[in-house]
Amino acid sequence: MFGGRGRAARRGRYEEEGRSDDRYVVGELDDHDEALPDIPVPEEPGTWQAPDVLEQRLYDLITRHAAGEWEDEEAQEDARGELTLAYLEALAGDLVYVPFRREETSPDPGRRTFHVYDTPVGRLVAVYTRGLLPRPHPYLVFESYTLRDLADDLPKDVDGIAVNNRTPIPMLMAADAEERQVWRALHNEHWDEEGRAERLVTLRSGVPSLGPLLHGLALGAHMCFVNGEAWNNPHYHGLGLSIEHERLAKWWGVTGRDEWLDVQRRLLDRDVTPWYWEFVLDARIALAERHTDGRLQAVDATAWRAHVETALRERAAQVPEQMGPDWEEFVAHVVGLVGKVLRYEGRFRADGLLAADAAVRSVAAWDIGRASMMARWGYGARFATRAEMREAVVEASGAAQSAHTSWRDFSAGYALGRCLHFDEEEFGGWYQEMLAAHQALATHPDSPWQTVPFRLPQGAGLGA
């Protein structure tokens, strides 16, 4: 349906309809034949490596059912009913994803046109779990639903849903009025919005091998933890096309390709974070190299403030026209950052985010980590090509290794940048999320900190 032989025809149709905007121009470069999941069932039962926890749970259910033996057809039918209910219960605790033609979806769920397949068993809509989604396709996109929303939004004349078709975990389910009531009840019982966030998710298959691409993806692990996304997923769909567009517009003002390109470049150039944050930290490094054998924590706070002010005024003297009426207020603000940094570092040490003898060397991680995520966000939103996403992630990998010394050093810089940006020394949710992310990344065996070296070996390949 979405194979390569139809690419020219699709391009012509969009041009005729006036849809040849930059999203589709970009999309032409990413057209591919694997628009929907197509995963062979292994010959040996129980040997499939599921990508994530949900898919593994569904595979275990199906494998156990396939291995069962029943006395008669009634017992077999009862077992089938139990399998279907257990499968639905698993779906009810997570999001499911429905494919749409790009021109037939909408931010308003009520205006979407579901693709309905007429089959010998009735009119069906395809549904997939997140771990099975293929790499983003320009003309076929996915929108996320809870089981309750799916019950409400599916057209009334749809007879059923084909879940994870052409994979090792398929299930055909009725979608009549009675069954939809069951979906709603299971949603109310199993859905936990908060439980889906602040968790470390690591895919088990379909991920890059060790190299700059995987390393660059790992740089976004803090935000992936906060959002409950897989840190090592190179095929980002997020919460579906419409919600990803909404989030990019809300938080970044990005509504199209040109805006994405601008923000992505600025993040990689570390030009989003105010320059004077790094200026203040560099001043301490300069003092430490002169007076304390490089020990940042040993630098006297008064001397640090004085050095910041002197260096700032010397810098301004070279371009006096930039010293406006608010200059002295700006100087006081920059010098005041010394105390703010010291107070954050004290809290970081108390909470284990910094070692007792450590200090934050740089906040480069704040822009670099977000650059890693912005690459994925742009790709999932169809503002960026797959190649552009990969190039940006690999560039972020190199930038992180140049600016930071370890995963813990990167994490401390990322946390300080986020706190300076949002927290205002309240040590509220903006900080608590970073602390939880740091603790999980430092201790969980599936964390990239345990599996991906911060310093990649010389000559490491890209990572397929």
Domain end residue (candidates: 351, 384, 418)? 351
Residues 126 and 187 in one domain: yes
The DSSP call for residue 167 is S
Task: State whether the Cα torsion 277-282-288-291 is positive or negative.
Answer: negative
Query: Which is nearest to 52 in space by CA: 199, 236, 203?
Result: 203
List of residues 6+ apart from 41 with CB closer than 8 A: 48, 167, 168
What amino acid is encoded at 263 in this protein? V
Residues 103 and 117 in one domain: yes
Domain end residue (candidates: 351, 377, 403)? 351
Could you tell me if residue 254 is inside a domain?
A: yes
Query: Which is nearest to 197 in space by CA: 409, 7, 447, 429?
Result: 429
Could you tell me if residue 464 is inside a domain?
A: no
The DSSP call for residue 1 is -
0.85 cut: is pTM over it? yes
pLDDT in single tens digits along all 464 residues of the chain:
223 334 443 444 333 433 444 555 576 788 888 899 999 999 998 999 999 999 999 999 999 999 888 888 888 899 999 999 999 999 999 999 999 999 999 999 999 999 999 999 999 999 999 999 999 999 999 999 999 999 999 999 999 999 999 999 999 999 999 999 999 999 999 999 888 899 999 999 999 999 999 999 999 999 999 999 999 999 999 999 999 999 999 999 999 999 999 999 999 999 999 999 999 999 999 999 999 999 999 999 999 999 999 999 998 888 777 777 789 999 999 999 999 999 999 999 999 999 999 999 999 999 999 999 999 999 999 999 999 999 999 999 999 999 999 999 999 999 999 999 999 999 999 999 999 999 999 999 999 999 999 999 876 666 66
At 416, phi and psi to the nearest 5? -65, -45
CA 32, CA 361: separation in Å to the nearest integer?
A: 44
Residues 253 and 309 in one domain: no
H-helix or E-strand containing 173? strand 171-174
Asked if residues 7 and 28 have their Cβ atoms less than 8 Å apart, the reply is: yes
* Domain total in the chain: 3
| Full residue range of the structural domain in which residue 441 is found | 212-273+364-451
Could you tell me if residue 15 is inside a domain?
A: no
Q: How many CB atoms lie within 10 A of CB 290?
A: 12
Could you tell me if residue 196 is inside a domain?
A: no
Domain end residue (candidates: 298, 330, 351)? 351
Asked if residues 434 and 221 have their Cβ atoms less than 8 Å apart, the reply is: no
Residues 169 and 52 in one domain: yes
